[in-house]
Amino acid sequence: MPPPTQEQVSEKLRAVIDPELRRSIVELGMVRSIEIKEGGRVEVVVSLTTAGCPIRSHFEQAVAQQVSELEGVTEVAIGFDVLSDEEKGNLQQTLGRGKLPQGALAKVKNVICVASGKGGVGKSTMTANLAAALTAEGHAAGALDCDVYGYSIPRMLGVNRKPEVNGERKILPLDAPSGVKVMSIGFFVEENSAVVWRGPMLHKAIQQFLEDVAWDELEYLLLDLPPGTGDVSMTLAQLLPQAKFVVVTTPQPAAQSVAHRGAEMAKKFDLEILGVIENMSGFTTPGGERFTIFGEGGGQLLADELDVPLLGKVPLSEPLREHADTGSPLVTAEPDAPASQAIRQAARGIVAATPQELPVLQSAPAASEAPPVGGTPLPVVQ
């Protein structure tokens, strides 16, 4: 059986995805060389962004699995080197980034931005409770407070102290009583202090929270965005080209139309919108009478306009507000409450719409009988 061609190997390597940059290693120019040896041995050298790349083993496994599926391959050997400064600069331009990541988000499977067009719709409350609901459902979750001017996630999740730094000079997120890992600008400023920052400072702060925090292995990192489509939202769109958005709105037409503009910003950056959550959808009295204080139907209308699912309709709830103020999310304190059930339903919708495995490999048809992977790994070139 003849060995494969370099073109065939390169095509298979398009299925190998950098889990941090979320693109193919072929597209990113990370495949340094492909050599086809006698007897069906294939040698591939992959260039990493840093010598101590924490996801090197993922590349090794992914390349071996993909290449070994080709007919005529008997052995696969993978070697590594490091991109030069010039190559890193070219990659930064390709990605539209000012700085390449150094591994902090490598183990985060899904980044979910919780956004709204305007303030006062309960976006932070939804972020805190969604993170707690995901954790309660068995999915490791974190919450990053990107609402620099109106940070409230620490209070809502019941954590407020100075984070520590580990031996690798990474900031350690705080563990909330609900099990959610939390990071916020609120941990670094005096209590109730105003944050008066302009665009460049905001960009640097958000970048540091993404790249200099030891998030470790998380299935979901939820980002509580500030209202609107300002500097922070655009920074995140540039730094996280594969992040997904959940849009929070209230039923009234004013909130729905403004939220639509926020969703359009995400679409302009080719960011996927997972769905819509309608908050304050109605109030039910102890006697069972229901009042639509903020109108009705805005969430479904927005979801229809965006062609995405309505993940949940969360009723107007005094306990939801009270538990947010005391730092004990309603979804864990009162899991059977109507608002808790609606938020848990929305969390399950997020899980259903996101991959459950680290996206190192794109789905590819399994070979009926893959040849064994063997050989000696190539030396790492520093």
Report, as an integer, the average pLDDT of 314-330: 93
Question: How far from 376 is each of 42, 44, 152, 174, CA to CA, in Å?
Answer: 11, 12, 53, 42
Which H/E stretch holds residue 81? strand 75-82
Residues in the chain: 382
For position 302, what pLDDT does the model report?
86
Three-state DSSP state, 184: strand
pLDDT of residue 354: 83
Residue 167's CB: how many other CB atoms inside 10 A? 5
Q: Is the pLDDT of residue 371 over 50?
A: no
Residues in contact with 37: Cβ distance below 8 Å, sequence separation at least 6, in sequence order: 3, 43
Q: Angle, to 10 degrees, between the axis of helix 56-68 and the axis of helix 6-13?
A: 130
What is the average per-residue pLDDT within 239-259?
77
User: What pLDDT score does 52 carry?
Assistant: 61
Q: For residue 323, is pLDDT > 90?
A: yes
Indicate whether 89 pLDDT > 90: no
Summarised one tens digit per residue, pLDDT across range 75-87 is 999 988 888 878 8
Q: Report how far apart the first and last C-alpha atoms of the chain are (Å, whole number).
A: 36
Q: Which amino acid type is present at position 270?
A: D
pLDDT score of 131: 96
Give pLDDT, residue 201: 62
The pLDDT assigned to 160 comes to 85
Asked if residues 243 and 236 have their Cβ atoms less than 8 Å apart, the reply is yes
Least confident segment among 67-76, 79-88, 103-112, 113-122: 103-112
pLDDT, position 214: 87
**3-class secondary-structure state, position 164:** coil
Indicate the pLDDT class of residue 375, thresholds 50, 70 and 90: very low
Residue type, 319: P
Angle at 230 between CA 110 and CA 282, to 5 degrees: 70
Tens digit of pLDDT for each residue in 180-222?
999 988 787 666 554 544 445 665 777 777 778 888 889 999 9
Region 113-134: what's the mean pLDDT? 89
Whether 364 shows a pLDDT value over 50: the answer reads no
Q: Are 79 and 188 in contact (CB under 8 A)?
A: no
- Give the H or E element holding residue 346: helix 338-352
In this prediction, residue 341 has a pLDDT band, given cuts at 50, 70 and 90, of very high
Residue 8 amino acid letter: Q
Percent of the chain with pLDDT over 90: 29
> Which position has the token pair 């083993």?
57
pLDDT at 133 over 80: yes
Note the pLDDT of residue 104.
Answer: 58
Across residues 346-359, what is the average pLDDT? 76
C-alpha–C-alpha distance, residues 32 and 84, integer Å:
11
Q: Is the pLDDT of residue 48 over 90?
A: no
Which of 304 and 194 is assigned the larger pLDDT?
304
Cα–Cα distance list, 259 to 113, 227, 309 (Å): 14, 9, 15
**136-157: average pLDDT:** 88
What pLDDT is recorded for position 367? 43
- CA dihedral 338→342→348→350, nearest 10 degrees, is -160
Residue 358 is predicted with a pLDDT of 38
- Among 97, 353, 345, residue whose Cα is nearest residue 236: 97
State the pLDDT at residue 196. Answer: 46
- Phi, psi of 20, deg, nearest 5: -100, -45
| Mean pLDDT for all residues in the chain | 79
Q: What is the pLDDT of residue 328?
A: 94
Confidence of residue 91 (pLDDT cuts 50, 70, 90): confident
In which band, very low, low, confident or very high, does the pLDDT at 365 lie, cut at 50, 70 and 90? very low
Closest listed residue to residue 78, CA positions, set 95, 91, 59: 59
Q: How far apart are CA 380 and CA 197, in angstroms?
A: 43
- Say if residue 146 is exposed, middle or buried (CB neighbours under 10 Å; 0-12, 13-18, 19+): buried
